[in-house]
């Protein structure tokens, strides 16, 4: 079972600032993952050509109907209080931005959690072509998408549920830690083993104290050309002692984050 977490940066190339959803989709598909958590996903936004990036990614990865879920965190283009508003729910026809979870494995159950962002305005480095590169922006709400997938071997009887969660936490460290604790309480009744994937905006040392789950991948992921810190993670809870996990970090398209990929043997 291969799992991956990709900060898609809306398909925007770090060097040029141009959006290429097809290039992003091909790069994500090349990871060969059974379940992919994707952050910074555009949904019908003008800057990415009005496409539903979740659908494009799912098609490229061979995900069948019912195996993809997008959760909007804001409606409109993020980055300024004049261009977006918090999303209390996903509205299919509303241009939005958020996170997605894609599964080639059968999904037994979907769940979503929405958590508040920081009340503070936080510094954000904007992409090329955005004018002023450093801007104070309001922190957006966040979402967690969980899929209970059937990881049984082909031909095996019954089912083997594994919970996979995808999220993108606040870039305010204090708020990200609080969001992690809320996530942990919410996920308490999900089937184990459980794997959390995402851009958690926290380095391993802080993350380990806030959420003592088993890290499956170690390696710097940000910024992608010459990464200095690991912000993207795969963490497991309730993994059997005999289970094996091999993790790595990979460059994906033109994103400013590197992806984390883990091969899990249950």
Residue with tokens 């963490």: 235
Give buried/exposed letters for 111-130 (b at 16+ CB in 10 A, else e).
Answer: bebebebbeeebebeebeee
Tell me which DSSP letter residue 106 carries: P
Closest to 211 in 3D by CA, of 229, 227, 194, 189: 194
The CATH number given to 2-265 is 3.60.10.10
pLDDT at position 158: 82
Tokens of 38: 């994707």
pLDDT at position 214: 96
Q: Between the CA of residue 12 and those of 30, 47, 51, 115, 246, what are the distances in Å?
A: 18, 9, 14, 26, 29
Instruction: Please give the mean pLDDT across all residues of the chain.
Output: 92
pLDDT at position 127: 54
**Segments of the chain with pLDDT less than 50:** none
pLDDT at position 20: 96
Q: What is the pTM of this model?
A: 0.93
pLDDT digit string (tens) for 61-118? Answer: 999 989 999 999 999 988 766 778 899 999 999 999 999 999 999 999 999 999 988 7
pLDDT at position 201: 97
pLDDT at position 124: 62
Residue with tokens 């919410």: 186
pLDDT at position 157: 80
pLDDT at position 125: 59
């Amino acid at each position: 079972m291969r799992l991956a977490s990709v900060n898609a940066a809306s398909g925007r190339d770090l060097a040029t600032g141009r959006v290429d959803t097809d290039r992003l989709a091909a790069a994500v598909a090349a990871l060969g993952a059974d379940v992919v958590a994707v952050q910074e996903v555009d949904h019908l936004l003008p800057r990415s050509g009005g496409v539903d990036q979740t659908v494009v990614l799912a098609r490229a990865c061979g995900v069948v109907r019912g195996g993809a879920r997008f959760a909007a965190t804001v409606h409109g283009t993020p980055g300024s209080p004049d261009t977006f508003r918090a999303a209390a729910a996903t509205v299919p026809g509303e241009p939005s931005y958020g996170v997605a979870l894609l599964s080639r494995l059968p999904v037994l159950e979907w769940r979503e959690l929405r958590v508040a962002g920081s009340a503070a305005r936080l510094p954000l480095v904007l992409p090329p072509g955005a004018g002023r590169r450093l801007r104070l922006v309001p922190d957006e709400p966040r979402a967690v998408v969980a899929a209970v997938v059937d990881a049984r071997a082909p031909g095996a009887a019954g089912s083997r549920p594994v919970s996979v969660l995808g999220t993108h936490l606040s870039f305010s460290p204090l708020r990200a830690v609080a969001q992690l604790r809320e996530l942990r309480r919410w996920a308490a009744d999900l089937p184990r083993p459980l794997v959390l994937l995402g851009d958690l905006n926290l380095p391993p040392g802080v993350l380990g104290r806030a959420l003592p789950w088993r890290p499956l991948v170690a390696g710097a992921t940000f910024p992608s050309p010459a990464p200095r810190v690991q912000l993207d993670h795969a963490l497991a809870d309730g993994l059997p002692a005999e289970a094996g996990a091999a993790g790595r970090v990979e460059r994906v398209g033109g994103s400013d984050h590197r992806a984390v990929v883990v091969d899990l043997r249950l």
